[in-house]
Amino acid sequence: MRFPRRRRDPVEVNLTPLIDVVFLLLIFFMVSTTFETRQALELTLPESVSGVAAEPSPVTLVVTAEGVYRLAGRELAPESLGAALAAEADQAREHGLVVEADAQARHADVVRALDQAGQQGIQRVRIATTESSSSDSFPRPAETP
């Protein structure tokens, strides 16, 4: 005797709900993600009690703790600082130059930047600082017996 076989429906995995969930997750992460648009250096600026907030200047020279200069978004070696300042000299003479030196930057690196600005005829030079949180911002020398 021959029994009739039932015909089984082929098993299929429906991928449509899976694709919908993946697209929803993609949209969620795209909307909730924030992007950093400004490339900034992590600088620790020195503090000043008597400083005055400076208006934004179009010419800003950054001196890092490692002695690297940054002008107009370009990193510069100490040898090429003079040529780069010469290219920005007209704007710096008109609006001034702001030097943002890291608190750990060597004094010689900052003096080199100020000297190059002076050679280009830039007279309005400001040094960026942060406002001091306490009134006694200068450490006192230790007393020796």
Q: What is the structure's pLDDT at 21?
A: 95
For each of the domains in the chain, give its residue range(s) and CATH number, in order of start.
47-131 (3.30.420.270)
The Cα–Cα gap between 50 and 144 comes to 30
The Cα–Cα gap between 124 and 71 comes to 17
Q: Positive or negative CA dihedral for 21, 27, 32, 33?
A: positive
| Residue-wise pLDDT tens digits, 81-131 | 888 888 888 888 888 888 888 888 889 988 998 998 888 888 888 888 766
Predicted TM-score (pTM) of this structure: 0.53
Q: What is the structure's pLDDT at 78?
A: 85
Give one DSSP letter per residue of 49-105, joined into a string.
SS--PPPP-S-EEEE-TTS-EEETTEEE-GGGHHHHHHHTHHHHHHH-EEEEE-TTS
| Residue-wise pLDDT tens digits, 46-83 | 777 776 665 555 688 888 888 889 888 888 888 888 88
